[in-house]
Amino acid sequence: MAQSRVVKTLGISGSLRKASFNSAALRAAQELVPEGLSLEIADISELPLYNDDVRAAGYPAPVQRLREQIAAADALLFATPEYNYSFSGVLKNAIDWASRPPDPPVIGKPVAVMGATPSLWGTTRAQYHLRQCFVFLNMFPVNKPEVLIAQAGSRFDAQGKLTDQPTRDLIGQLLVALRDWTRRLNPA
């Protein structure tokens, strides 16, 4: 991918909650996109639970839409909450739908991950488990910077705007790293 080409990025939040900190972090990322990167946010709220019988009969419309969005993207950006020491079931469900044949669109994609949580740990375990999925799916994650948004309630205002400048800076750095990593992996 030429240096002047825009890296089309698809963001996926692992939380369906209306006031989700992770969805708010993706919206903040849209405000912080560097030159040479665009960011669209996918809606996974209508995905049915993964069922191979359903897949065998044909992908439901919301699943097909997500698969097409992923296929059209040069890179992915996941925002994951941490539930029970891991990432959310809705994010796992989206990944399951996107990883099935024919032509699983997640295979070989550059990917970055960030996460927000009210806890002190900042989604470290959730991101670790998500990275294990990346190995199996032959996805290529950005390793640094790590964006672990701990005590998220103090970093976003009541309208869901990310107000913490160090966190905004880290997200901006992650986006630059994702853009540069994607260009490095796909120089044509």
pLDDT, tens only, 40-49: 999 999 999 9
Domain spans in the chain, listed from the N-terminal domain onward: 7-185
Q: Is the pLDDT of residue 1 over 50?
A: no
pLDDT confidence of residue 11: 98
Q: What is the pTM of this model?
A: 0.96
Q: Is the pLDDT of residue 58 over 60?
A: yes
Token pair of 71, please? 């296929």
Q: What is the pLDDT of residues 164-188, one digit of tens each?
A: 999 999 999 999 999 999 999 998 7
pLDDT band at 3 (very low <50, low <70, confident <90, very high): low
Please give the CATH number for the structural domain made up of 7-185: 3.40.50.360
Alpha carbon distance 77, 42 (integer Å): 10
Q: CA of 118: how far to CAs of 20, 69, 77, 122, 175, in Å? A: 11, 30, 21, 8, 23
DSSP string spanning 107-136?
A: TT-EEEEEEE-SSSSTTHHHHHHHHHHHHH
Residue 57: predicted pLDDT: 95
Tokens of 72: 């059209």
Tell me if 14 sits within 8 A of 156, measured CB to CB: no
